[in-house]
A and B are shown apart, each in its own frame.
Chain A
Amino acid sequence: MIEFDQVGLRYGFGPEILRDLTFEISPGSFHFLTGPSGAGKTSLLRLLLLSLRPSRGRISMFGQDVTRLERDRLLQMRRHIGIVFQEFRLLDHLTTFENVALPLAVRGQPPEAYRENVEELLDWVGLGNRMNVLPPLLSGGEKQRAAIARAVISKPDLLLADEPTGNVDPELSDRLLRLFVELNRMGTTIIVATHETGLLKRFDYPRMTLQNGTVTAHV
């Protein structure tokens, strides 16, 4: 599903942030991406989200070489990918319900087609009674759950999550991870960037460790 071959990334004329990344991620797998702060986890996630192009090397996703893919095609391919940002990036002028429904709305689905699904998912993540609240009024944990719900609502083929449990207590963190596991069982490939060692211990999945911009372990 995902193949990196000697991939390097630099911003402008700066030094390489990521270098010589070569790995494969098979469809339906679950991976943790770990490593110290500044190791390049977020940059790697941005490459996987197709919001950055590599400076060198080749990336293949969903059977296509995405390195030189046209911009419109990249935007279309993103519909197969769900993303949970570290800083949530909810739209402050939309309600929780509308934020979560947004990926379906931009695909042109009418509200009656997704209303039930969105409400059900919001109930599941514990935001059933916060559907009509604007994000500035949500707590950090609630924003986190809304961001996760937005990422999974369209049942993406690939789910990327950047520190998705950074703002929630261990109990809710396990609950959210179980949502990812459930999605994974239904066929979604999951990559979770985290440096929470507790989480890594509780959920035994392959880990990719980044250190100084390169993968040092893939177990």
Chain B
Amino acid sequence: MFEALFGTRPDGMAIVPRRSVAGRTLMLLIAIMTFLSCITLGGVILVQQSAIAWSSDIGRELTIQVRPVEGADMEASIRDAVALAESTSGVGSARALSAEQGTDLLEPWLGNGLDLTSLEIPRLIVVTLDDPRNADIEALRQNLSASVPGATLETHALWRQQLNAMAGTLVISGTLVLLLILAATALAIVFATRGTMAQNRDIVDVLHFIGASNRYIATAFQGRFLTIGLQGGAIGGGGALVFFMLASFITASVLPAPDASQLTTFFGGFLPGLAGLFGLVVMVLIMAGLTAWTSRLTVNRFLSQIGA
């Protein structure tokens, strides 16, 4: 079992040399590919989780917009709209933003220092849903248009749809990139394995001459390549973990507090968490397995091509 896995006997006899230029190159290659795979995987998970979180947050909120209507009392309309919202099933709370808060929301687009008092700016009411699935939004919309002049209901459905489409595209693109990295790794392993076999041709010949079967030789080489894959994968996975920790440290320490907070709001934390760590370990194992499997096929092909 030990021999089959790692190409060494329990007494430490390694049929395939532990150190070789080709082996070191392959380990470096796998480390880089694992790093790229983990970063891609991390990015995909980050985008997916953020999209789910945004979508869920936005799905719990509605906005009632009350436009000024000639002859109508704005404050009374707002009170009516809040009361209507609060009496609708599934609604947790309804909070009207003050005129100043509404003006503040325009600052990022219009800049500060502008006197907006002469403009008739609509007032906003933020409605938070307790139970989005059972909220009777259509009833609220109809009641608002019937009872409150100038009131409209915004459910952010279009924005959520666009957000989901964008997140889905990013996840699919990331997955494709991941598959391409794995395919490129497999191809590189084929070339590296052939190089290693050519470098160790004399060992293969001697093993054949003393009666070793192809299966024995393939197992010895596969064990060596599995070890290289595990070492390279661990280096790449470890590097990715350090990268995520550094990214998290930079957002927390280097960026000014409001920017860091904004980034965290948009993308969540950079630390991968337990699920992310599990993903990293799985990626390392996939890389090691891919190395062992690809090299086994290549070694078998090499052995069948050379003479006995």
| Residues of A near any B CB (own CB < 8 A) | 49-52, 71-72, 74-76, 78-79, 81, 83, 89, 91, 93-94, 98, 101-103, 105-107, 110-111, 150, 154
Contact = CB atoms under 8 A, between A and B. Distances in A.
A105 B206 contact: no
A71 B9 CA distance: 26
Contact of B13 (A71, A79, A98, A150): A98
Contact of A76 (B203, B207, B213): B213
A42 to B, nearest CB: 13
B308 A111 contact: no
Interface of B: 9-11, 13-15, 17-18, 202-203, 205-214, 216, 307-308
B306 to A, nearest CB: 10
A175 B64 CA distance: 105
A51 B307 CA distance: 8
Nearest to B217: A106
A146 to B, nearest CB: 13
Mostly helix, strand, loop or mixed at chain B's interface? loop
A98 B17 CA distance: 13
Given A89-B206, A93-B18, A106-B216, A76 B211 contact: yes
A129 B9 CA distance: 23
Contacts of A98: 13
- The listed residue with most A CB atoms (<10 A of its CB), out of B9, B11, B208, B308, is B308
A78 B307 CA distance: 14
Nearest to A99: B206
A111 B3 CA distance: 12
Given A89-B206, A91-B206, A111-B9, A75 B17 contact: no
A105 B13 contact: yes
Contacts of A71: 308
